[in-house]
Amino acid sequence: MSFDDPIAALATYASHPSVSADPSYAEGMVAAREHVTRLLGDLGFAVEVIETPMHPILLATRGDPTWPHLIIYGHYDVQPADPFDLWTTPPFEPVVRGGRLYGRGVADNKGPQIVHMTALARVLAKNPELPLRITYLIEGEEEVGSPSFKGFLEQYKDRLDAEMVLVSDTGSPNPEQIVITTGLRGLVALEARFKGPRMDLHSGVHGGPVFNPLRAVSEVCASLHDDQGNVNVPGFYDDVSEPADWERKELLKMPQTEEDYLDFIGSPAFKSSPRYNALESVRFGPTLEFNGIGGGYQGKGSKTVIPSESFVKITCRLVPNQSEEKIAALVKAAISDRCPEEVTVDVEVTGGGDPYVVIPPGKPGSRGDEPELLKRAFDATERAIEESFGVSPIYMREGGSIPIIGDLKQVAGLDSLLVGLFTPADNLHAPDESFHLGIMEKATTAFEAIFKKLSGSS
Ligand SMILES: [Zn+2]
């Protein structure tokens, strides 16, 4: 059986180079997909390969329509492995070293998938008729932004009449302390282009009367924060819902202080809105960041030029209950209003997603009308992690964004239980990615208990 040796199952899975961003890895994508199809088939799932404009999504099901229905999400694609020469051993030839399995994709996200599947295999071996309906959604475009996923959800909505989603594609601070992620920030991406003279001009012949587009972009950007560190866009904070007291307290359990964090970043000091300390700010606060500013001469030495245009790329991270569309409109208006009249500006919204939060059932601020399976899942997970790892999980919002979690909520009305199984030491998206075998073993034991509880057996 494939799951008697889970490390070998993971090593084989990770040996298929499924790099979704690079078309030269098309064969690796097929091989990884076929590998998961086989694994799910061994577990008794009926697997369908759903075509998309890019990489197919695997939709696999087991169980009776009358049973409680759980969706498990994962992705079979991985990040590119470059630069190859920084890997200690080749990225697609997984090997165990010092209690870790090394290889591209072993932590993000193939390892966590093997954890779920191995746990399920063990539960099903003892109880093949386990009364839990499970739908697996394993996509191949996560590392390129999941462009086909939302359309897929809309098209297959009637197959997704579940009570919740289980995802292990988030992080925990270290192998001893598991985090259950309860919120993700949303995103708005914009690009503003400032235009002045028709063409680049000689700064001696024309310097003086011409308003330089680089000055325009600088003045507008400088206006977008106030002296205290708040985002200076009218209405920006209007819909922000502040975290509950228990969430701020939960943060104190994290094994990291503001000083550790500053030390890790290496900046001389932090500056965040006075509403939040630095550790709160990355989880509970909304932001406006400049990701790139440009225009004019960027080469060596000097060039006496007044550039014809300049640009800035901006992203905002959003928190509950801010809306992607509303914030995009506010920022766009602020930039247009503040653009000096001697130049023109064109602001384009290039992407985004709404924030997501799930307050654990029973905690202050929770909905109260959560589906039975979701309640059972949070309860079972807290106990199983406690038992298997010896420490209770921490409930924590994360600063990043996973658009598919918001899509599942928006399209199918589903909340997600996000159990973090990778850690910073796993080097996600970087050379020498690895998966901690201790986490793998303990988490597998925990998920065995979780699947049993979800089916109503103990
Ligand atoms: Zn991932």
CB distance 421 to 115 below 8 Å:
yes
pLDDT at 367 (0 to 100): 87
Distance 309 CA to ligand 1 centre (A): 38
pLDDT at 209 (0 to 100): 97
CB distance 414 to 160 below 8 Å:
yes
Distance 137 CA to ligand 1 centre (A): 13
The neighbour count for residue 153, using CB atoms within 10 Å, is 20
pLDDT range class, residue 124, cuts 50, 70, 90: very high
**Mean pLDDT, residues 42-51:** 97
Cα separation, 271 vs 285, in Å, equals: 13
pLDDT range class, residue 272, cuts 50, 70, 90: confident
The full set of domains in the chain, from first to last, is 6-184+356-454 (3.40.630.10), 186-240+286-353 (3.30.70.360)
pLDDT at 456 (0 to 100): 86
Distance 20 CA to ligand 1 centre (A): 12
Question: For residue 223, how many C-alpha atoms fall within 13 Å in the half-sphere facing its CB?
Answer: 17
DSSP 25: G
> 7 vs 12, 30, 103, 421, 431, CA distance in Å?
9, 21, 12, 15, 20
Positive or negative, the CA dihedral 209, 212, 213, 219 is negative
pLDDT at 402 (0 to 100): 87
pLDDT at 1 (0 to 100): 62
Distance 196 CA to ligand 1 centre (A): 43
Q: Quick one: which H or E segment has residue 324?
A: helix 324-338
CB distance 167 to 417 below 8 Å:
yes
Percentage of residues of the chain with pLDDT beyond 70: 100
Distance 427 CA to ligand 1 centre (A): 12
Distance 340 CA to ligand 1 centre (A): 43
Distance 263 CA to ligand 1 centre (A): 27
pLDDT at 446 (0 to 100): 98
pLDDT at 386 (0 to 100): 98
DSSP 422: B
Distance 168 CA to ligand 1 centre (A): 8
Distance 109 CA to ligand 1 centre (A): 5
Cα separation, 163 vs 416, in Å, equals: 9
Distance 128 CA to ligand 1 centre (A): 30
Distance 420 CA to ligand 1 centre (A): 11
Q: Is the pLDDT of residue 389 over 70?
A: yes
Distance 325 CA to ligand 1 centre (A): 26
Q: Residue 21: which of 78, 91, 92, 73 has the closest Cα?
A: 78
Cα separation, 438 vs 413, in Å, equals: 35
> Omega of the bond prior to 174 within 30 degrees of 0, cis?
no
**Mean pLDDT, residues 394-406:** 91
Q: Is the pLDDT of residue 457 over 80?
A: no
Helix, strand, coil percentages (3-state) for the chain, rounded to 5, are 35, 25, 40
pLDDT range class, residue 351, cuts 50, 70, 90: confident
Distance 77 CA to ligand 1 centre (A): 8
For the entire predicted model, the pTM comes to 0.89
For 213-271, write each residue's pLDDT tens digit: 999 999 999 999 999 999 999 999 999 999 999 999 999 998 889 999 999 889 999 99
Q: What are residue 171's DSSP bridge partners?
A: 422
DSSP 43: T
For 309-342, write each residue's pLDDT tens digit: 999 999 999 999 999 999 999 999 999 999 999 9
Distance 94 CA to ligand 1 centre (A): 18
Mean pLDDT value across the chain: 95
- Calculate Rg over the CA atoms of the chain: 24
Distance 449 CA to ligand 1 centre (A): 24
CB distance 102 to 433 below 8 Å:
yes
Cα separation, 360 vs 364, in Å, equals: 9
Distance 204 CA to ligand 1 centre (A): 53
Distance 35 CA to ligand 1 centre (A): 18
CB distance 248 to 280 below 8 Å:
yes
Distance 169 CA to ligand 1 centre (A): 5
pLDDT range class, residue 458, cuts 50, 70, 90: low
Distance 350 CA to ligand 1 centre (A): 22
What is the secondary structure of 392-410 as a DSSP string?
A: PPEEEEESS--HHHHHHHH
CB distance 117 to 53 below 8 Å:
no
Cα separation, 271 vs 274, in Å, equals: 9
Distance 75 CA to ligand 1 centre (A): 7
Q: Residue 166: which of 141, 137, 142 has the closest Cα?
A: 137
Token couple for 157: 């909505």
Cα separation, 187 vs 399, in Å, equals: 10
For 312-321, write each residue's pLDDT tens digit: 999 999 999 9
Cα separation, 436 vs 423, in Å, equals: 8
For 284-313, write each residue's pLDDT tens digit: 999 999 999 999 999 999 999 999 999 999
Distance 189 CA to ligand 1 centre (A): 21
Distance 110 CA to ligand 1 centre (A): 9
pLDDT at 248 (0 to 100): 93
The neighbour count for residue 218, using CB atoms within 10 Å, is 16
